[in-house]
Structure 1
């Protein structure tokens, strides 16, 4: 299983360990992934996601999963997140039409 965020596709970065003698050795900075269940208010459905802690803080700041997805551009989202966003937009359009 790859260590990638299910919403923003955040992955590991690479860098250097730097010792006291300034010797550089390569290392990986892993993403802090959390298994969470987020509720979509518009759809009334729960989604089990594996997202980065940084993304979880952003979702809370934006006010929930729906507002996070609607406020994020499509090129930043994963395919799984785009499907949820499409369903939210469709549901909102049906509510407005009725």
Structure 2
């Protein structure tokens, strides 16, 4: 399983651990990823995704996963997020046609 956020793309960073004696050792900065389920109003179901805590806060701030995905450009989304966005757009189109 990749250590990458499904929505924001936040991933592992590499840097140095620097001691008091200025010795440098390679280290990895891991993102704080959480396995979570977000509710999609358009799909009317829970969607399981692996998100960073920053992405979880952003989704809640924007008013849900539907509003977040529909308000962001496709170039900023990962493949998994693009598939979810397409599913939400199709569901919204079906709801609009039915109304």
The normalised TM-score by structure 1 is 0.90
Q: Matched residues in 1 for 2:47 and 2:57: separation?
A: 17
Distance 1:62 1:22 in 2: 43
Task: Give 1:69's aligned residue.
Answer: 69
Deviation at 1:81, TM superposition (A): 1.0
Moved more, 52-61 or 18-27: 18-27
CA distance in 2: counterparts of 1:49 and 1:41, whole angstroms: 16
1:36-62 CA-partner distances (Å, limit 9, x unpaired): 111001110111111111111111111
| Root-mean-square deviation (Å) | 1.3
Give ranges in structure 1 of 5+ residues lacking alignment: none
User: Which sections of structure 2, spanning at least 5 residues, go unmatched?
Assistant: none
Residues 1-98 of structure 1 mapped to structure 2, 5 A cutoff: 1-97=1-97, 98=99
